[in-house]
Amino acid sequence: MCHGARVAPCIVGFAMMLTVALPPLVFAENPVPQKREKIGEVLGKSVYRDQIQTGQDVDLAEELHHLFLAPVSDKYRREHKAEITPTVAEIDAATIWIDKHHQEERQHEDPKLREMLKTVRDNLAHLKLTESDRESLDDERLALETQLIGEEPKVRQELKSIKERLSRSKLTDAERQRLESQKFTIEMGLKPPGKDLAHFIVDNWKLERHLYDRFGGGRILWQQAGLEAFDATRNWLEAEERNGSFKITDPKFRKEFYRYWHRAHGSFMLHDKDSIREQFLEPEWARPKAK
């Protein structure tokens, strides 16, 4: 923002000083700052309309959850850290369960994956392919082989070869990028989902279970991040709103904020108490082992 005209400097020469004639200074009026429209508060801080991202792919409810729900959720996590932080025993139990089911799934998918791998190998051996098509098929071969238990020794040997080639200095950028991509594919394929996924699952479950126990139970919703204490979360947010943790003064925005809890979610919603207990309250990985 320009608050006044800039004055051109005088130019000083070695033989003489030239005086530069300047026009009269004209100062532009400072524009009146536009008043920001406040739409609410969260944890004592004002929230303004211009903080909402705009655009074709922007979901208004998600923006409002980012502005209002996320800070309140972070506060809840801090306040109840001791109760909702996953324990080592919980992580270990979930890791064992996840790896076991991952192995079972690989065995179940084995026949189909082997058929796919046979087709890819046949195409690589017999089709006339461009270099680009050959590389794409070879990447597909590698991804399939990493998922097959019987191919593991071969894949590990290929990983060793790739690492040796990467250690050489005489590689083009394209060659190095391709080898790095293959290395990543193999390492991710050979690595069980295990502990990292277990920590994510248990961390999410303990938060949702804590909300469920403290704010009235109710229905459970299937989500990508895991099972969600659907009704309890709404009850918690309404309680936080009453307690002043946040407020949304624009009625349209407030309605949009709560829209998620007032629309139908179909078959992803769990109503049955036995299903809720089996799948949410007492997930298989958290059940005590029979002696």
Domain that holds residue 178: 109-190
Q: How many domains does the chain divide into?
A: 2
Distance CA 130, CA 206 (A): 52
Of all residues in the chain, the percent with pLDDT exceeding 90 is 53
Whether 132 maps to a domain, the answer reads yes
Looking at 164, 190, 216, which one is the last position of a domain? Answer: 190
The secondary structure of residue 218, as a DSSP letter, is -
Is a pLDDT exceeding 60 seen at residue 180? yes
The reported pTM is 0.69
With tokens 């303990």, the residue in question is 206
Q: Is residue 30 part of a domain?
A: no
- Same domain for 212 and 172, yes or no, is no
Domain shared by 134 and 173, yes or no: yes
Q: Exposed, middle or buried by CB within 10 Å (0-12, 13-18, 19+), for 23?
A: exposed
**pLDDT at site 44:** 96
- Domain membership of residue 1 (yes or no) is no
Instruction: Supply the pLDDT for residue 107.
Output: 87
- Quick check: is 235 in a domain? yes
Res. 19: pLDDT tops 50:
no
118 and 169 share one domain: yes
Is 155 in contact with 145 (CB distance < 8 Å)? yes
Confidence (pLDDT) at 24: 46
Tell me the C-alpha to C-alpha distance, in Å, between residue 53 and each of 33, 60, 61, 245.
21, 8, 11, 23
> Does the residue 26 lie in any domain?
no
